[in-house]
Structure 1
Amino acid sequence: MLVYDGDCGFCTSSVRFIERYVPARAEIVAFQYADLGELGTTAERAEHEVLWIDRAGRVSGGAEAVGRLLTAAGGPWRALGVVMRVAPASWAAQAAYRLIARNRHRLPGGTAACALPPAGRPGGHG
């Protein structure tokens, strides 16, 4: 399962790209609609990074989560996902993920609401 921030326009645009182009065999859900306690995580974590929860209930976040999603998709995506999770590429992937996460409100599909704390976003989740 991939868990993302459904209040963030950039995150939602990214998920739509995944749904269209990445043959992910996974449920994709906004954290605002997920039972995070049952999934073994918290809203605080889900507000700050995309999460991947595998069938065994292990939770990965950030670039690791994206790498695991791509690995699970198979085909050429699998190779990219594996590379993203092995050092030193994993270090670069995590640095890129953090840079993107901090600036998601400035990226295509992002809105000013993406930069606000969750309680201050339109819709008031948090």
Structure 2
Amino acid sequence: MSADVRGALLFDGDCAFCAASIQWVRRRLAPAVPAWPFQEVNPAGLGVSRERLTREVVMVLIDGSQLGGADAFLAWAASGKGVVSRGAGLLCAEPTLRVARLIYCWVAKNRAHWRFPPRPRGVARH
């Protein structure tokens, strides 16, 4: 992994739902921005708390600014080059983004209740 993960999506690698969601988007949209489990980087060095990363995904942009939750996930999904990625970009606009934020909050609060196989260790994640 590169020492500089700015311009990356950080997610909870211990959350099977989170890891499955990241893999699903990677396979279908091929985002241009890498995604890393926060357990594999130094989030404090990027200005992101571990506590925040257990609640929501965070996209750290090249300039150091951050997006969180639905905003981060949709911006990451829309970073690819395909038509479907551009469609994901449409979800980043109001009023759709407002609905996406509500859905993201509900999913984040309930993710522990859904059953997913554990994320295999040692599998490439970027």
- Per the shorter chain, which TM-score range? 0.7 to 0.9
Paired position in structure 2 for 1:13: 20
Cα distance in 2 for partners of 1:51, 1:87 equals 20
Paired position in structure 2 for 1:115: none
Letter in 2 for 1:70: A
Alignment TM-score, normalising by the size of structure 1: 0.78
Matched, 1:94 2:71: no
Paired position in structure 2 for 1:83: 90
Letter in 2 for 1:90: L
> Which stretches in structure 1 are left out of the alignment for 5+ residues?
112-126
8 Å contact 1:8–1:110 — kept in the other structure? Answer: no
Aligned structure 1 segments of 4 or more residues deviating by more than 3 angstroms: none
Return closer, same or farther for 1:85/1:57 CA change in 2, 3 Å cut-off. same
Displacement of 1:89 in angstroms is 0.7
RMSD: 1.8
The within-5 A match list for 1:1-126 is 1-109=8-116
Percent identity of the aligned residues? Answer: 26
Return closer, same or farther for 1:43/1:9 CA change in 2, 3 Å cut-off. same
Q: Secondary structure at the match of 1:24?
A: coil
How many residue pairs align between the two structures?
A: 111
Letter in 1 for 2:91: M
Question: For 1:37-77, what per-residue CA distance to the aligned partner results, in whole angstroms no more than 9, with x for missing partners?
Answer: 22221111111001111222211011100111122113223
Alignment TM-score, normalising by the size of structure 2: 0.78
8 Å contact 1:6–1:31 — kept in the other structure? Answer: yes
8 Å contact 1:63–1:84 — kept in the other structure? Answer: no
8 Å contact 1:5–1:50 — kept in the other structure? Answer: yes
Displacement of 1:27 in angstroms is 2.0
